[in-house]
Amino acid sequence: MEYIDLGHISLLIGFLLILVGFWGVLTQKNIIKIIVGFSILNTGINILIVSLGYVKGKTAPIIDNAVAQTGYHDVSASVVDPVPQALVLTAIVIGFGVTALMLAYAMKLYKAKKTLEINKFNDLKW
Amino acid sequence: MLRNILIALVILVMGYMFYNTYSNYETRTELAGISQHFAAQGAQEVGAANLVTAIVVTYRGFDTLGEVTILFLTASIIAFFLKLKDEDYDSSIDHRETSELLVTASQVLIPIIFLFGIYVFMNGHLTPGGGFQGGAIIATGVALMIMANPNVRLNYHVIHWVESVSGVSFVVIGILGMVLAGGFLDNKIFGQDGLGEFGTLFSAGAIPIIYSFVGLKVGAEISNILNKYQKSQKEA
Amino acid sequence: MNIYAKLAYTILGFLIVLNWGFLMGATMRKIGARMAGRHGIPFKQPWINLFKSISTRTVITHGIMYYIGPVFRLTGGIGLFLFMPMVFTGSPDGPWTNFSFEGDLILIMYFNVFGMLGMALGAGEGGHPYAAMGITRGLAQHAAVELPLTLAFLSIAIQFDTFSIYKIVEAQQGGIMHWVLFTNPFAAAAIILAMLGALGHSPFNLVKAPNEILIGPATEYEGTYLGFMMSAGATLHVMEAVLFMNLVFGGATSWLELIVKSFLIYFWSVFVGMVFPRFKIEQSVTWFFKVPLLLGVLAVIIFMF
Amino acid sequence: MVTPIFIVATALGAGFAIGVLNKFGKNFTGGLVLAAITFMTFISYQWFSAFQFGDQTPEYVYTAGFMPPLSINLLMGHYEAFVTLLINFAGLLGGIYMFNSLKNRGSNAQVVYLIMLMGLNVMVMTRDIFNLFVFMEVSSIAIAGLILLEKGTRSMGAGFKYILATSIISGFLLIGIIFAYYFTGTLNLDGMIDANLSGIKGGAVAVFMIMIAIILELKPFPANGWGLDLYEGSNAGFSAVVSAASATASFFVLSKVMDIAGPEWYYYISLIGAVTFVGSNLLGIKQENTRRMLGYSSIGQLGLLMLILGFRDILGDQTPYIVFGILISHYMAKAGLFWISGIVKSKGLKGWAVIRKKPFFLFLMGTFIFALIGFPPFPSFFAKWTLVMELVKTGNMAWVVAILFGSMMEAVYLFRWFGYAIKGENEHLEDFKIEIHKIVPVWMVAIGLYVMGYFTAQFTEVGAEINFIPLAFVGLLLALDFLPVFVKNTIAIAGMLAYSYFIYPDLEGDTLRLIFEGIFMLGGILALIAGYAYKGTRAGFYPVAILMYAGLTGIIEAKTTLEFFYGWELMTAGSYFLIIRGKRSMPHGLSYMLFSIGGAYALLAGLGIAHVGQDSFAMDIINNIQYIPYWAYGLLIAGFLTKTAAVGLHIWLPGAHGEAESDVSPMVSAILLKAGVFGVVLALIGMGAENNQYTELAYALGWLGAITAFVGNLMAIFQEDAKRLLAYSSIGQLGYIVFGLAMMTHLGWLAGFSYVINHFLYKAVLFLTIGAVVMRVGTHNMYEMGGLIKRMPLAFVAVMIGIIALSGVPPLSGFTGKWLFYNAVLEKGWYLQGALFSFSGILAFMYLWRLIHTVFLGQLKDNHRNVKEISIWFLIPIYTLIAGLMVYAAKPEWILQPLGNMIAQFFPDGQLIWDGGTAISKYGQWSGSLIGMTIGATFMTVLIWLMLSTRKAHKVKQFDITYSGERPERPETTHVAYNAFEGLYKAMWVATIPLVETFWDRVTNILHDTAGFTRRLYSGNGQAYMLHIVFFILITYLVIIGG
């Protein structure tokens, strides 16, 4: 590694966020904080996804006149990988759905026991 | 405390695992695999200037259908388990007075936000953005609306209709792709020549249509979820 | 030898055994009494008892099994006699071999129980508690006795490679040193000790427990039944002695030898009985599981290598 | 043919449209959902039948008009069609079952249910890994929502834990996918397989994350607390769907994705599967909550499937068959059990006794449990058989041990549960209601299991109709169960007679098999005659009795080891039901079943080893075992000894036989135990008979037999319960038989076989008589009886003859065995064992006397003064058997000569020489008929004399006795019965210390404690569950990828 480039930096940030997210998820007792942990975790994963699509020195995969083209709108030499960007879109939406559901659960759980401490919800065990 | 140390250890090992992965990463200098094809041929095959959109709506349209489904599912689940009755939608709660600034600004901003949202999803095949982004923007408008007036009564019948019709339309277009073109969710339902002129609004076949429906659906779903959250608060 | 001659010899033999049984019983009682400083019964007492019992006029019954019990008992005694070769004459078909050709030592071992079982069944129907107690004790002690005894029998059978009592006797002919007593001392020792239990004198007579509970199963019987039982008892005593004689002490070549040997064998148990007080049933069971069992196991083990 | 994309389109179209259509009411939307699922099922079925019955080739469905890897494609192949059919069918049945639950939650819930199924379908069909991720999310979010169909905080907690866990898992999956894409440049599964991802530098970690996430979806032990909560906390109908549909889909996904990982992962998949199977079944034994217990079982079954999947290279072509068998059984049985658990609504296991209020539920439950454990005729039986055969063949013994141990644990808790259901107290329990839409799905899967069983059997030797005729007869009796005893008994006897007639030509000439078949069939018929004594319908008796006989005859007729094992298991199942019918039989039924299953597994392993290096499954492969033959024969014999109740494996018998019904005891004692003997005989013949090379094995068996004889007889002496006394006596008698057979000489076998026949005759007489007496007097305790000779003389005579025969006193038939035994012992040189055997025989006198004395002699009790003679229906078989005993006693040569000829096939040396009726051996001679005549003549002479001399004997009253100056007034005071052999006990109590019971108690306790301790891991805290998952991932990472 001669110098740290953008790809490495964002990958590192992604991993760090994931670890932070895990830390939050595993240590926080408050359900809302756990959900926040998951959001951080998801963000980290999303950054990871995008950074893996990075191609050094290339631009966004939207074809307009600013992008160098060869042949008929062939931009293969000048854009970053569009696939992870498509995937991350899906991942974000899924993350949104899950978070929404968790929050709804949090509301239900709070209503049931008037607490958000996760270790209070262990009716089922063993 | 012991537990936290243990977890720290776990995180450390996980970090080690990630480090192994990280150390195998090398920054790419050129495209590889399928992305090569998308960059080279995508514009020609799909006719969308935004390659990401081309992938999201057409190449991987089936994923998008799943995404929409997830949103729809979430909304449905929240609906049945926050369990609102019809009269709950009309109920009001006591709340602190919202700031004047917010109320006034919302009156100005909401139409603009809606308009912007619609712009984003209609031009998803040309510019950054698309159905999800547009839908989300619309939903922020709704969020603003709720914040400005927590007792606002959204017409949930309209929301349901929009949600339902746009969802069904998405599926129908998908099936049309099978009938009129090469497969489920194929965007060339107007034929290869019907892709329109590259880079204009009416191009890329069914993509703008699908994305519009997606936008509407996403906007409706998220609004719906927000509305449910808001309305179910009185139970608390 | 034709069947009638055989029958005649057999009946004669049985009469000898029966009477010798009575006489031997009386003698032992007499010896016992003298040792205790009493005068004792006259020698003719058993015959007197027998006739008195048989001629009693009133006879009762508790039911069919009660009735049949003595029959079993006597059949057991007679049967034992029938299946036993009595006097060795050099031929398996000789005059005093009875019906021993029908079976062998195993038959004797199991038929031995026939009378006991019938007795137990018969006395049981009377519903007298002493009968049941006596039987439970008798069966338990019997089991304990049989274990060393069986081992010793097996040892002798291994030694001579046969279960046939006749052949065992035959093999012991030709001098005292050919007796199992000397050729297979462990087996002989086991038998001599276990025999005490089989013959049922003190210290192994809790089964009958003469003083406290009259005499066990027999309590319930009187009259003709008692006569039958006494005859059976006399026969069985002799037959058991004869069995041990045949197996360990070289058999008998004449009735006299038989009488002497069986008397000595029987006397051995009476002698011990004079010296030792009675054991409780658990004591006698454990006693047989000690030295006699060890001897029996040794008697067998020496043939395993 | 409708293209599979319509599965998706239908579900989504209907789902989206319901938002508008819900104003037509919830019934309408519910109907619409069901219609959509029906259509989806139809599509899958159409494809499946095209593959199964036509020559359809797999078809790809492309989307977006582009070819993969550019676009997402779906595959509809044979397996996909099958799995989607399973999913949709489970969804359909579940939809019907949950119709009301869903309706109550509104149209939204109905939609979520529909979409969950759609998600599962796409998971199965898709060939794109990211698409797989999306639809896994779809289904898991839907599941997280549907948990809330059940109200209350429990389900809420379960749902939340489920989301937390799946979020972690999907996070890892996503990281894995994106790295996989980064390394291969494709998202298509086939493309990734081609790219050999594991081989690329850094790719292994991507593979790891994908694989571990998908494995975690299958809820591996111990990172599966959330899965258990899901099963326990959600609506029963929904648990069924999760277990049947979702688990099946996840399993299929694993099988699909593991192609990316490559063979180096197979071992780990198997390992995780094995740990899961053993671990979760072990923890299951501690469960008292039905739903959670079923959850443990479901997870365990998935573990087993994982294990199999990891072996797919080794199992080769057999893999689909094995997976099919296990999967379909689990799918149907578990769904059925969950559904029943929703109807019965009892949380604790003990409350399930209520199920008896609707007896056909017991049938359903039994069907499901037996299918889960792998009894015939269910598919899992054939699958387990094939699996073990293949694993053993390839030398994977350790895996077989794990599989069998896990299965054993599963049997422990399932049968304990079943025992509560059959025998528990249920009077205070509230009856449950049945809704028609809930019971229909249960019946569907139950019938499905039988159909599938038949279908599965067609691929094996058991497929022949001969093996299903008896089963069909069982089914017929089941259908006629409402008829009175008289009719059913006649049908059963007629059926057995007809079958005997029908089967006889097959066995003619094979004396060995004829003997056993004779005992099974004729004995069975005689025992059934006693059944006429019963009144009413005797619900459920006849099907199970005939099932046992079907199994028994099955093992006789078996031409292959599979058929043998098939018959063996049928017999076990039938006898289990017979045994557990007794009043207090619950614990004994369980221990019988567990020992039987343990034995069956030993058998299975043994037969597996026997198959190594052989081409066929023909029965004679056990005559020539090539691979570790010591182990093979040892296992086979150990398996058979569980049925003969050899010491150590006997603890089930006294209770099982003692508590059984009056005519069942002879069936299970005189008849059933001989099945074990038959097995031992086959194994010993296999060991080479005369040329036995496994002398140590035979030697050990001999000691075992002798000790069993001793322990059985000794314990019998100290019993107060007449039937238990006989039961212990059976243990001892079977010890004789085993001892005789183990000698491996002509005489030894002759002795053993003479005992086989004798024991059948007299034990049937004794059990039938005592059983009939018990029916009259209403107690098993001997000290409560007494003096019954006055009331039932015929029964007394029967018992007397029985005990004389058993004791071996001449002239009855028991002496035959004794005489042969001594000769055999002397010839073989097993003196010490012989002495022990002999001692056991002497001990027998004590319990026999006690049996007859305390029951029939002694004092008649006041409350028995008016009891009647035992039923004529018992007397008929009893005296028929006695006639047999008498013939045997009078003419032993009629039986011993053919036996000798038969045995001479295996042991030509050392035969008896017959001189007329006199048998002559090397050591002595014995002539049964002459002895009989001599003794008879003496007896008659003495008797006549006595009769003549006591003509005037007068009968005295019962209390006309005196002792110690007392005259009794109550019978109890002088009936010496309780603890009769006190003296012996004081001398020999050391030998009665229940070492074996203590040993098994210890084993049980250790298992329970382990389970109890380990399951505390499942603390119920969602965060802890996440930690478990992370731990699981990291540890697996360190193991698989390494530092």
* Residue-level pLDDT at D398: 93
Arithmetic mean of pLDDT, D186-195:
88
Q: D333, D338, D269, D265: which is closest to D304 by C-alpha?
A: D269
Which chains have 3+ CB pairs within 8 A of A? B, D
Q: Does C14 touch chain D (CB under 8 A)?
A: no
Instruction: Answer whether residue C121 shows pLDDT above 60.
Output: yes
Tell me the nearest-neighbour CA distance from D697 into chain C, angstroms.
19
Q: Beta-carbon neighbour count of residue A108 at 10 Å? A: 21
Residue B236 is predicted with a pLDDT of 41
Look up residue D783 and give its two tokens: 């000290």
Structural domain that includes position D45: 1-127
CB of D563 within 8 Å of a chain A CB? The answer is: no
Tokens of B76: 């449905």
D window 179-238, beta carbon within 8 A of B: 179, 181-182, 184-187, 201-202, 205-206
Q: Which chain A residues have a beta carbon less than 8 Å from that of B19?
A: 15
Predicted local distance difference test score (pLDDT) of residue B234: 59
Closest CA–CA distance from residue B42 to any residue of chain D (Å):
10
Secondary element (H or E) of residue C60: strand C60-61
Angle between the C3-35 and C45-54 helix axes, to the nearest 10 degrees?
120
* Residues A102, D163: C-beta atoms closer than 8 Å: yes
Instruction: Give the separation between CA D205 and CA D183, rounded to whole angstroms.
Output: 11
Q: In Å, how far is D156's CA from the nearest CA of chain A?
A: 7
Find the mean pLDDT for residues B168-173: 88
Let me know if residue A105 belongs to a domain: yes
D176 in A contact zone (CB under 8 Å): no
- What confidence score (pLDDT) does residue B84 get? 64
Q: How far apart are CA B201 and CA B125, in angstroms?
A: 8
Tally of residues, chain B = 236
A7, A22, A61 member nearest B11 (Cβ): A22
- Measured on CA atoms in the order D560, D563, D564, D565, is the torsion positive or negative? positive
Q: Is residue A88 part of a domain?
A: yes
Q: Are D376 and D564 in contact (CB under 8 A)?
A: no
Q: Would you call D1038 an interface residue with chain B, using a CB distance cutoff of 8 Å?
A: yes
Are chains D and C in contact at 3+ CB pairs closer than 8 Å?
A: yes
Candidate from D145, D171, D181 with C-beta closest to A41: D171
Contact between D213 and D221 under an 8 Å Cβ cutoff? The reply is no
Q: Among D857, D926, D931, pick the best mutation site for testing chain C contact (most C Cβ within 10 A).
A: D857
Name the 3-class secondary structure at A109.
Answer: helix
Residue type, D1033: I
CA dist B175 → C35, C44, D8, D195 (Å): 123, 124, 11, 33
| Cβ contact, residue pair D181, A34, below 8 Å | no
Cα separation of D572 and D415, whole Å?
13
How would residue D935 be classed by pLDDT, with cut points 50, 70 and 90? very high
Does residue D322 carry a pLDDT above 60? yes
One-letter amino acid for residue D579 of the chain:
I
Which chain D residue is nearest to residue B20, measuring alpha carbons? D202
* D1016/A25 Cβ within 8 A: no
Q: Do B52 and A18 touch (CB under 8 A)?
A: no
Q: Mean pLDDT for chain B?
A: 84
Q: Do D1034 and B13 touch (CB under 8 A)?
A: yes
The DSSP-derived string for A6-17 is HHHHHHHHHHHH
pLDDT at D969 over 90: no
Judged by average pLDDT, the poorest of B130-139, C53-62, D719-728 is C53-62
Are the Cβ atoms of C224 and D950 closer than 8 angstroms? yes
Report, as ranges of residue numbers, the positions in chain A whose pLDDT lies below 70. 1-3
- Helix, strand or coil, per DSSP, at residue C203: coil
Could you tell me if A32 lies within 8 Å of chain B, comparing CB atoms?
Answer: no
**Residue A124 belongs to some domain of the structure:** no
- pLDDT score recorded for residue C68: 86
Token pair recorded at residue C183: 């050729």
Three-state DSSP class for A49? helix
Q: Which residues of B touch A93 (CB under 8 A)?
A: 67, 70-71, 132, 218
Closest CA to B184 of D13, D800, D787, D668: D13
Structural domain range at position A49: 6-54+77-119
Is there a contact between B62 and D1041 if contact means CB atoms under 8 Å apart? no
Query: What is the average per-residue pLDDT within D437-461?
Result: 91
Chains B and D touch (3+ CB pairs under 8 A): yes
Tokens representing D511?
A: 């004396």
Burial class (CB in 10 A: 0-12, 13-18, 19+), D310: buried
Residue range D140-151: mean pLDDT, rounded: 89
Average pLDDT over residues B210-233: 85
The answer, yes or no, to whether residue C174 has pLDDT greater than 70, is yes
A56: three-class secondary structure by DSSP? coil
Average pLDDT of chain C to the nearest whole number: 87
Nearest CA in chain C to D819: C106
Q: Out of C54, C102, C135, whose CB is closest to D949?
A: C54
pLDDT value of residue D594: 93
DSSP 8-state code for residue B192: S
Taking CB atoms and an 8 Å cutoff, what residues of chain B touch A81? Answer: 28, 31, 35
CB of B131 within 8 A of CB of B61?
no
CA–CA separation, D672 and D691 (whole Å): 30
- Across the interface, of A87, A101, A119, the residue whose CB is closest to D1021 is A119
Partners of residue D808 in chain C, C-beta under 8 Å? 110
Give per-residue burial for C241-251: e unless 16+ CB within 10 Å, then b: bbbbbbbbbbb
ipTM: 0.88
Chain C residue closest to D821 (CA)? C106
Query: What tens digit of pLDDT does each residue of D723-742 get?
Result: 999 999 999 999 999 999 99
Beta-carbon contacts of D421 under 8 Å, excluding residues fewer than 6 positions away, are: D352, D353, D355, D356, D362, D365
φ, ψ for residue C97, nearest 5 deg: -95, -5
Chains B & D: contacts with CB separation below 8 Å: 187
Which among D953, D595, D907 is positioned nearest to D749, based on CA atoms? D907
Tokens standing for C265? 């064998």
Q: Reduced to 3 states, what is the DSSP secondary structure of residue C206? A: coil
Radius of gyration (C-alpha) of chain D in whole angstroms: 32
Q: Is residue A14 part of a domain?
A: yes
C161-184 mean pLDDT: 91
- Residue A78's pLDDT is 84
Cross-chain residue pair B21–D206, CB shorter than 8 Å: yes
Yes or no, beta carbons of D178 and A48 under 8 Å apart: yes
Task: Report d(CA B134, CA B217) in Å as an integer.
Answer: 10
Q: Residue D566's pLDDT is what?
A: 92
Taking CA–CA distances from D230, the nearest residue in chain A reads A124
Per-residue model confidence (pLDDT) at position B90: 66
In this predicted structure, what is the pLDDT of residue C117? 83
Q: What confidence score (pLDDT) does residue D529 get?
A: 93
Mean pLDDT of D1005-1016: 92
Position A124 scores a pLDDT of 82
Q: Which residues pair with A59 in a beta bridge?
A: A79
* C168 SS3 class: helix
Residue numbers of D between 179 and 208 with CB closer than 8 Å to A:
179, 181-182, 187
- Residue A67, amino acid: V
| Range with the poorest average pLDDT among B21-30, B87-96, D763-772, D1017-1026 | B87-96
- Residue D988 touches chain B, beta carbons under 8 Å: no
- Please check whether residue A96 lies inside any domain of the structure: yes
Of B7, B64, B81, Cβ closest to residue A108: B81
Q: Is A61 within the bounds of a domain?
A: no
Q: What is the CA radius of gyration of chain B?
A: 22
Q: How many domains does one find in chain A?
A: 1
Tell me how far apart the terminal alpha carbons of chain B are, to the nearest angstrom.
Answer: 34
The answer to whether the Cβ–Cβ distance between C78 and D976 falls below 8 Å is no
The total number of structural domains that make up chain D: 1
Q: How sure is the predictor about C214, in pLDDT bands with cuts at 50, 70 and 90?
A: very low
pLDDT at B86 over 70: no
User: D205 vs B167: CB contact, 8 Å cut-off?
Assistant: no
Stretch among B38-42, C31-35, D603-607, D608-612 having the lowest mean pLDDT: B38-42
D789: exposed, middle or buried (Cβ count in 10 Å: 0-12, 13-18, 19+): buried
**C215 touches D: beta carbon within 8 Å:** no
- List the CATH number of the domain containing A85: 1.10.287.3510
Residues 6+ away with beta carbon under 8 Å from D364: D336, D340, D442, D443, D446
- Structure tokens given for A106: 């949090």
The answer, for D1020 touching chain A at a CB cutoff of 8 Å, is yes
Chains interfacing with C (3 or more CB pairs < 8 Å):
D
Indicate which of A58, A72, A76 best probes the interface with B, i.e. most B CBs within 10 Å of its own CB.
A76
What confidence score (pLDDT) does residue C213 get?
A: 45
With CB atoms and an 8 Å threshold, state whether B63 touches D62.
no
Q: Please check whether residue D118 lies inside any domain of the structure.
A: yes
Cα C119-C124-C125 angle, rounded to 5 deg: 110
Q: Please give the structure tokens belonging to residue D822.
A: 């001594």
DSSP string over D969-995: SSHHHH-TTTTTTHHHHHHHGGGGS-H
- Which tokens hold the place of D422? 């059959």
Helix axes D5-21, D107-125, angle to 10 degrees: 170
Average of pLDDT values for D999-1021?
A: 91
Q: What angle do CA D402, D404, D405 make, to 5 degrees?
A: 65
Which pLDDT value is given to residue D407? Answer: 94
Interacting residues of C109 by C-beta distance below 8 A, sequence separation 6+: C150, C153
pLDDT reported for residue D448:
94
Q: Does residue D482 register a pLDDT over 50?
A: yes
Structure tokens at B211: 């994305």
